Amino acid sequence: MQSILWYPYTQMKLVGHLPKMVAGDGVMMHLEDGRSLIDGISSWWSVIHGYNHPALNAALTEQAGKFSHVMLGGMTHGPALDLAAALVRITPEGLNHVFFSDSGSVGVEVALKMAIQYWKNKGVSGKNRMVSLKNGYHGDTFKAMEVSDDSDFTRSFSDVLHRGFFLQIPEGGFDASAEIVQPAIDRLQELLAEHHQQIAAFIVEPIVQCAGGFRIYSPLYLQAARSLCSKYNVLLVFDEVATGFGRTGRLFAAEHAAVVPDIMILGKALTAGYMGHAATLATTEVYNSFLGDGYEKALMHGPTFMGNALACQIALRSIRLIEEDHYLEKVQRINEVIRDQFAEIRGEWVVEKRVIGAIGAIELADASLLNGFKVSAMEAGVWLRPIGNVLYLMPPYIIDERQLLAILSVMKKWIMGR
């Protein structure tokens, strides 16, 4: 039968029967057929407080009783002003200006537009190409695909993407020594030295590349990137759509390196999975380049739903929960349990186990080793969805230890039982 609803990343000919969620509470997803699943991946890493959270529900209904949305063109409102101020307060010092949009991909588009126009506004011509990282993923819109590595997501469009430059992340993971990281820094230095006159920005997922396979790299690389970008007049852009709001153990991954990018993008957990929203933050130096007496230098971008009042209120309430309920401690506890359990997981198919913050990923030798995994996990009451050959968990931060162990036990049994 033909499906009216077209699903993401899905061969619709093979789609088959999908589990149907009818309710959620906490980390539990309740299905129409009576089963309940523990959500191991926070609905694509967004639902950090779990489902149906009373405080977030209250923020939503309270704002809906006033107004749900008003255009941000020619009009302003409290929730947008308050959220912008809160984001400036909690992000690394120096990111003083906030541009809202409606999804992570669009937030990336805005960041790349800002970077290209920044140089034009400053009267520097020819700087319009990007540097990004192999295995990186920045979204599905066109410019976001251009800075993402080749993958199943970009394959059909490779002939129309205007590619920039790609570099490998350093080897050795988070704790790599300076010596191990240096060759990757040298490649960056060589590239910028040769091509900086054409390069607008270097965009990275700081510390962890998520959708591209959960690869973790050293903060030393980000520190070097910061000084090389400044030296060669290239903007540094951190895409924290996946890593932001505590996922890596710090509120923002940039903090691991104590580095401030010129532009930073937030999404996903920003609105705790309640609705789509994103924020692109910029330094005063970037912002000031857009100032002028006419429209010529203005940022000509304005998604209809930018600064949506419901989204802003939920984000504000979510930030309060993170701060007041000591979420970074919850993330630390999740990290310890994952590390503990991962230590026991071994097998000839295991290529690498990677853990940071509330992220645990196991790379297997081949994607086919995960055939049938999703169904088997569901039978055990757990919702996990591997990416390629990587089996991973990114649970809501409110998960309790018993639920976390249930997820890890499903992963362990699949790998060790082979």
Ligand X SMILES: Cc1ncc(COP(=O)(O)O)c(C=O)c1O
Catalytic residues, by residue number, are: 9, 137, 239, 268
Which range of residues in 53-61, 76-84, 100-108, 298-306 is near ligand X by CB under 6 A?
100-108
> Closest CB to ligand X among 103 and 132?
103
CB of 66 to ligand X, least distance (A): 26
How far apart, in Å, do the first and last CA atoms of the chain sit? 35
Residues 252 to 281: which contact ligand X by CB under 6 A? 267
Could you give the count of Cα atoms lying within 13 Å of 44 in the half-sphere of its Cβ?
15
> Closest CB to ligand X among 40 and 369?
40
> Closest CB to ligand X among 103 and 121?
103
Total residues in contact with ligand X, by rule CB under 6 A: 14
CB of 143 to ligand X, least distance (A): 12
CB of 130 to ligand X, least distance (A): 14
CB of 211 to ligand X, least distance (A): 5
What is the pattern of x (binds ligand X, CB under 6 A) and - over residues 121-140? ----------------xxx-
CB of 169 to ligand X, least distance (A): 14
> Closest CB to ligand X among 98 and 211?
211
Residues 8 to 67: which contact ligand X by CB under 6 A? none
Contacting residues for 176 by C-beta, under 8 A, at least 6 apart:
170, 217, 218, 220
Residues 347 to 366: which contact ligand X by CB under 6 A? none
**Does residue 108 bind ligand X (CB under 6 A)?**
yes
**Which of 109, 239, 262, 363 forms a contact with ligand X (CB under 6 A)?**
239
Which range of residues in 98-106, 162-170, 247-255, 355-363 is near ligand X by CB under 6 A?
98-106
CB of 277 to ligand X, least distance (A): 9
- Which letter, b or e, does each residue of 228-243 get, where b requires 16 or more Cβ atoms within 10 Å of its Cβ? bbeebebbbbbbbbbb
The type of residue at 205 is: E
> Closest CB to ligand X among 163 and 297?
163
**Which of 91, 105, 335, 341 forms a contact with ligand X (CB under 6 A)?**
105
CB of 137 to ligand X, least distance (A): 6
HEC states along the chain? CCCCCCCCCCCHHHCCCCCCEEEEEECEEEECCCCEEEECCHHHHCCCCCECCHHHHHHHHHHHCCCCCCCCCCCCCHHHHHHHHHHHHHCCCCEEEEEEECCHHHHHHHHHHHHHHHHHHCCCCCCCEEEEECCCCCCCCHHHHHCCCCCCCCHHHCCCCCCCEEECCCCCCCCCCHHHHHHHHHHHHHHHHHHHHHEEEEEECCCEECCCCCEECCHHHHHHHHHHHHHCCCEEEEECCCCCCCCCCCCCCHHHHCCCCCEEEECHHHHCCCCCCEEEEEEHHHHHCCCCCCCCCCCCCCCCCCCCHHHHHHHHHHHHHHHHCCHHHHHHHHHHHHHHHHHHCCCCCEEEEEEECCEEEEEECCHHHHCCHHHHHHHCCEECCCECCEEEECCCCCCCHHHHHHHHHHHHHHHHCC
Residue with the CB atom nearest ligand X in the bound state: 104
- Residue 353 CB: number of other CB atoms within 10 A? 17
> Closest CB to ligand X among 152 and 344?
152
> Closest CB to ligand X among 280 and 289?
280
Residues 179 to 238: which contact ligand X by CB under 6 A? 205, 210-211
CB of 324 to ligand X, least distance (A): 26
> Closest CB to ligand X among 41 and 210?
210
Q: Which residues pair with 129 in a beta bridge?
A: 199
Residues that bind ligand X (CB under 6 A): 103-105, 108, 137-139, 205, 210-211, 239, 241-242, 267
